[in-house]
Structure 1
Amino acid sequence: MFRGVQQVNMDAKGRLAIPARQRERLLSQCEGHIVVTIDTQAKCLVVYPLPEWERIEKDIQNLPALNQGIKRFQRLVLGYATDIELDGSGRMLLPPAQRAYAALEKEVMLVGQGNKLEIWSQTLWQAEQEQALADSGADAALPDELLSLKL
């Protein structure tokens, strides 16, 4: 499970070092073989350990491709999917197209999401947090799926 929010720096070539605790999980789960793609719901990237991505990719490919909305989703998520291997220093190199999609600059946020990690620009992450807090006021209606959670 990937947990927590961490600020990391990306160099001019698009390399960023995965923090030790996340790197250890990636090395033990998939020997540093990951897949990075875009999130179609937000301007961020999503990092999957290769075995997790292979399961998701199969599910995506099994969707009915004649549905235009599904076809667009497949084009984006599968089209941007890139195999990446962590180098000996635990760094990953993000392709320019992915960096542009997520508006990544030097300071990025690595956000644990259980089975995956998200990579956000620091600016967009701050805006996302502010929006989430604004949307979760006392009068905000929770989705039915959340009402059954026992926290």
Structure 2
Amino acid sequence: MKFSIQKIILILVLIIGYNQLIIAQTKLRNSILFYAIDDRIEVYVDGELVFEKLASAGNLVNEVEFDLNPHVSDKIDPIVEIRLINSTCTTCESGNGWLVEFEIFQEGNSVDYIIEEGDSLGGDTVYTISYEWGYI
């Protein structure tokens, strides 16, 4: 009888350990997936710059995904701000186009998709959006 109880306990411990391993591996996705950036993107969490990427004329070779987990998981309702800065164009006579396209993932779900474009002289922030991370 004792031997059977030990086997049952061992099996339960293995099952529980396996379940915990699966849960740890399926970390919920909190990220921003950038499809296009023209010219520079900055991401802030609670006012602190945590990510910056430069791409000329919206040309990203590949999509760029920024993992927010290290920056939002230990905070209560952090503010995530995305800013697009359009570089100055000294040869542009009538304007300087800008573009940003991205998707927001919160806890594994796509919660927002943005594509914005416009024209400016450059050298300034042309697009800003903020998210209160628990309430998108």
TM-score scaled by length of structure 2: 0.31
Higher strand fraction (1 or 2): 2
Using CA pairs under 8 Å that are at least 6 residues apart, name the structure with larger relative contact order, 1 or 2. Answer: 1
**Rg comparison, structure with higher value:** 2
Higher helix fraction (1 or 2): 1
TM-score scaled by length of structure 1: 0.29
